Amino acid sequence: MELNSIIEALLFSANGALTSKAIAEAIRTTVKESDDETLDDLAKVSKEEVDIGIKELVLLYMEQGRAFSLTERPAGWRICALPEYAMWSKALFPAAKPARLSPPALETLAIIAYRQPITKANMEAVRGVAVDGVLQKLLDKNLVRIAGRADLPGRPLLYETTDLFLDHFGIRSIDDLPNSSELRQVPLPEAESAESKDGQPVETQLAMPAISGVEDPSMLTARNQRDLRDPDSLKESDSGEETQADEHQTEEHQAENAPEVDETEDHHEEQK
């Protein structure tokens, strides 16, 4: 049995992508459990032989003008329809709508993709605005994930792209991004480290729950960041205003309840 036909059958039957290593292991396992002596030639098939067979299948599909081909994704190889037949394939999925990202989200995603892993503070230094909202959307769409913590004061979170990002944009790795090597070397603005009153460095990155808890979406914009004051300071200010108001009300109350002077008695005393 020809190796290329077996590879084609495995890729066609798989629910998802298959790596060359997984295909080779599946073939060796099948031969080992089979009593067919004609399959002994495939008992020691290697990953390299599978890679050669996949390349031969890709060329065969191109020569025959097939509407599909083998595409390598981060998770492995898949049989996919050619891009020119995408409009016909969409007819099978009428309810599915393409996920569209806003320009700010694309800008933030590009910064993460080319400079990952990267902190949120450095993203904001490049864009010049807060990225809390768009970053949360990228996390919700599973295009970005937390990669760990930076070895910096405050241990800020690091963000990187996911395999879904690679699959969505049809690339195998970050190196396949346009001008990847050049853009990674371009110097970018970096976040300035803040210091507390005692001179110790503090974390400049805002916690995601603190921003997501704001009910008014307009408060997430850069120009309204000044309105996101320290809640403690707001409480102190409010309590001070309430104290002054209480004192003022007390004075008015005392003035209203003061005993009235009997003007008749005062007049008699003056006559005496």
Quick one: 130 and 48 in the same domain?
A: no
Average the pLDDT over 8-16 and give the result. Answer: 91
pLDDT digits (tens, 9 = 90+) for 144-201: 999 999 888 889 999 999 988 988 887 888 888 887 777 777 777 777 654 444 444 4
Indicate the pLDDT class of residue 268, thresholds 50, 70 and 90.
very low
Identify the residue with better confidence: 192 or 53. 53
Both tokens of 203, joined, read: 């974390």
39 and 109, same domain (yes or no):
no
In this structure, is the dihedral angle defined by the CA atoms of residues 236, 239, 245 and 250, taken in order, positive or negative? negative
**CATH code at position 203:** 1.10.10.10
Domain end position, chosen among 190, 214, 238: 214
User: Could you give the number of structural domains in the chain?
Assistant: 2
Range of the domain at 32: 3-92
Between CA 75 and CA 16 the distance in angstroms is 8
Question: pTM of the full predicted structure?
Answer: 0.54
Is residue 32 domain-shared with residue 64, that is, in the same domain? yes
Span 198-239, pLDDT tens digits: 444 444 443 343 333 334 443 344 434 444 444 444 344 444
Q: How far is CA 267 from CA 26, 135, 257, 262, 263, in A?
A: 118, 82, 23, 9, 6
